Structure 1
Amino acid sequence: ASFGFTMSFMMSCLILCALMLFPAQSRAEEVIRIRHYHLQPRHDFALKLLELVLSKNGTPYQIIAVKSNEVLTEGRVEKMVMDGELDMLFISTSATRERTMIPIKEHIYRGLLGLRLLLIKHKNNEKFKQIKNLQDLKPYVAGHNVHWSDFGVFKANGLKVVSTTSYDALFEMLKHERFDYFSRGVNEVWSELAQHSDQLVIADNVMLFYPHPVYFFVGKHRPELAALVEKGLKIAMQDGSYKALFLSYYADTIKKANLNSRTMIYLNNPAVPAGTAPIDTSWWLTP
């Protein structure tokens, strides 16, 4: 009887220890899930960077692209993050966004998205070759998405703008001459041109540049995720893996743009909050 009691007592202790131990182990192995709504090919780099950043923490993760039956505007996606329906997005910064979400203040694109080439109609290429400064650009009309945070850049610099809420519609509007040019990030424009090269070209000898900081923004319901992203991003910046990823995506693109042959028109960006750290473009953009 004594032996049976001892065995029973030992088994109970083992079970109790297991119950105490397994929850801790399951917490350690818990998968970090991140819901987002970035579904277009132009978002690939930032999503790959997010994977790199999360891998630096040694915590299992799952990045989930949330699909919708409707095309969601940038403003709607932003609200979904604020409401907790999504966990994060990457987007250009503004004072409002820095108040309503948690910004990770590292420049995802290192200023690349602020360097803009101009998609135009084939027949207008000769006209655009004559543009040398901001005054020369002012007679022409830009197309832009009203929800994009750099929308105000054009009006702030005295440029005419026609707007819509649809990304895809902008290409068709340009083809139908509703406006004269569609300014695109040098990292975006080549894949877009490939889809519309039947009627559009990149203006030969001009480019725009304005400060355009893009951050990861995390919903306030996920502060632990914000901490992981910030930590991992700092590691990636310091150990060279961010730069290696950036150049693997964009070195050829930057070379193809032949930047030294282009006239740069600098624009002010009033949406950039006061005190925003300057963007170091030194290792990809020659002054």
Structure 2
Amino acid sequence: MRLLLTGIIAVLLSVNHVLAIEAVYIPQPRSNLDIGHEYHTSLLKKALIHGANGRAIPIIKTSLHMPEARANYEVTKGEKVDVYWFGTDAKKERDMRAIRIPTSKGLIGYRRFIIHKDSIEKFDNIASLLALKQQTACLGAHWPDIRILQASDLPVVVNTMYENIFKRVHAKRCDYFPRAYHDGYNEVSVRKNRYPNLVHYEKIVLHYPFAVYFFTPKSKETLAAWIEDGLNAMIENGEFLRHMQSHLLTAHIFPLEQSADVRYINIPNPSLPEDTDWKNKKYWFQPSDFGFAENKKPALN
């Protein structure tokens, strides 16, 4: 009997050793003004705590500074980066393990614009997709949004460096930087000394179903399941929404109300996997949450 108990204990210790994760590596912030990095890092930490189920909580460590394309490569390879958050598309979900819980309830698909202050009057007169097609958007290289906007014939120019996008709009070398519903306000505020002519334009919302997910290498299923369990637990006990309502990145958007003069332009997202359940209110904000008609079809002109 003693030998049997000893064997069982050994097996349990072995299993716990396999499940033990001492550290989780993520890339460094894109810049020292990258509020979104702290948002996701703190959300990841909370998910690890809520999904621990008695296990020791891993330490989150930063590895290298890298553009998104490099981070994508490193997560796919699974050596220098264990977790990162990307705007999802079908290819990423094939190459990596997607944790299909939007990290900001799909807010990234509701876009408001960063523009030059001299362009306010011009954008005040834009009320349709056809009118928006006369303007050029600035986006980061390798972002899934490029294909989304181009699929609706919206002109796009790309920039390799994140900070250079703001510089380009400020220099009037493109017309607008479409930012996630929660991003633009803070991004303009923290750069007001560097780029004093940038403004956060809130009278147009360009919507397409889109989300940021946490991704892990496919080889790290234990870690992925741990994060997934933690995020679901946070949703069930209300901690997920509290995180959004209290964090600097997203707190200012609540309550989700629109003034009557906001123009809503809806376009499809052909890059989103067909089985994405973006109508699921548990995980995704819906247009009606912002006061927009849910049954409004994607714009055709």
Is TM more than 0.5 here?
yes
What is residue 25 of structure 2 aligned with on the other side?
A: 35
Q: Percent identity?
A: 27
Match of 2:299 in 1: none
* Runs of 5+ unmatched residues, structure 1: 1-12
The yes-or-no answer on 1:286 pairing with 2:280 is no
Pick the aligned partner of 1:172 from 163, 167, 174.
167
Counterpart among 54, 58, 64 of residue 60 in structure 2:
64
Task: Give the conservation status (yes or no) of the 8 Å contact 1:206–1:264.
Answer: yes
Counterpart for residue 54 of structure 1: 48
Mark the CA change 1:144 to 1:240 in structure 2 (over 3 Å): closer, same or farther.
same
Change over 3 Å in CA distance of 1:140–1:21 after alignment to 2:
closer
TM-score by length of 1: 0.84
Residue type at the aligned position of 1:172: K
SS of 1:126 mapped into structure 2: helix
Aligned in 2, Cα 1:22/1:145: closer, same or farther, shift over 3 Å?
A: closer
Measure, in 1, the Cα distance between the counterparts of 2:47 and 2:210: 21
Between the aligned partners of 2:156 and 2:124, the Cα distance in structure 1 is 20
**Could you say which residue in structure 2 is the equivalent of 1:247?**
245
For residue 53 of structure 1, report the CA deviation from its aligned partner.
Answer: 1.2
Residue number in structure 2 paired with 1:118: 113
Q: Partners in 2 of 1:227 and 1:41 — Cα distance?
A: 26
Letter in 2 for 1:54: L
Q: Which of 165-174 and 241-250 deviates more?
A: 241-250
* Structure 2 SS opposite 1:230: helix
Bigger CA drift: 41-50 or 29-38?
29-38
CA distance in 2, matches of 1:155, 1:28: 45
CA contact (8 A) 2:96 2:216 kept: yes
Q: Does 1:73 align with 2:72?
A: no
Q: Quick check: 2:40–2:103 contact (8 Å CA) kept in 1?
A: yes
Per-residue deviation, 1:81: 1.0
Q: Could you tell me how far 1:285 is from its partner in structure 2?
A: 2.6
TM-score by length of 2: 0.80
- The alpha-carbon deviation at position 268 of structure 1 amounts to 1.4
Q: What is the rounded CA distance, in whole Å, between the counterparts of 2:190 and 2:119 in structure 1?
A: 19
Partner of 1:237: 235
Q: 1:254 to 1:156 in 2, by over 3 A?
A: farther
Equivalent residue letter for 1:201: V
Alpha-carbon offset, residue 27 of structure 1: 3.6
| CA distance in 2: counterparts of 1:202 and 1:139, whole angstroms | 20
Q: Larger C-alpha radius of gyration, 1 or 2?
A: 1
Q: What code does the residue aligned with 2:197 have?
A: Q
3-state DSSP class of the match of 1:61? coil
Asked if structure 2 preserves the Cα contact closer than 8 Å seen for 1:120 and 1:203, the reply is: yes
- Counterpart in 2 of 1:99? 94
Counterpart of 1:65, as a letter, is: K
Residue type of the alignment partner of 2:253? T
Question: In structure 2, how many angstroms separate the alpha carbons of the residues matched to 1:41 and 1:286?
Answer: 27
Q: 2:203 aligns with which of 202, 205, 224?
A: 205
How far is the alpha carbon of 1:46 from its aligned partner? 2.1
Change (3 A) 1:282 1:58: farther
CA contact (8 A) 2:207 2:264 kept: yes
Distance 1:154 1:193 in 2: 22
Letter in 2 for 1:202: H
How far 1:52 sits from its partner (Å)? Answer: 1.5
Deviation at 1:26, TM superposition (A): 7.8
* Alignment partner, residue 139 of structure 1: 134
Separation in 2 of the partners of 1:103 and 1:259?
35
Distance 2:119 2:287 in 1: 33
Matched, 1:154 2:149: yes
**Mapping of 1:207-226 within 5 angstroms?**
207-226=205-224
Q: Distance in 2 between matches of 1:50 and 1:283?
A: 28
Distance 2:219 2:257 in 1: 41
Post-superposition shift, 1:283?
Answer: 8.4
**Partner SS for 1:154:** helix
SS of 1:196's equivalent in the other structure is: coil
Rounded to whole Å, the distance in 2 between the matches of 1:58 and 1:262 is 48
Shift of 1:131: 0.9
Greater helix content: 1
Evaluate the alpha carbon distance shift between residue 177 and residue 88 of structure 1 in structure 2; reply closer, same or farther with a 3 A threshold: same
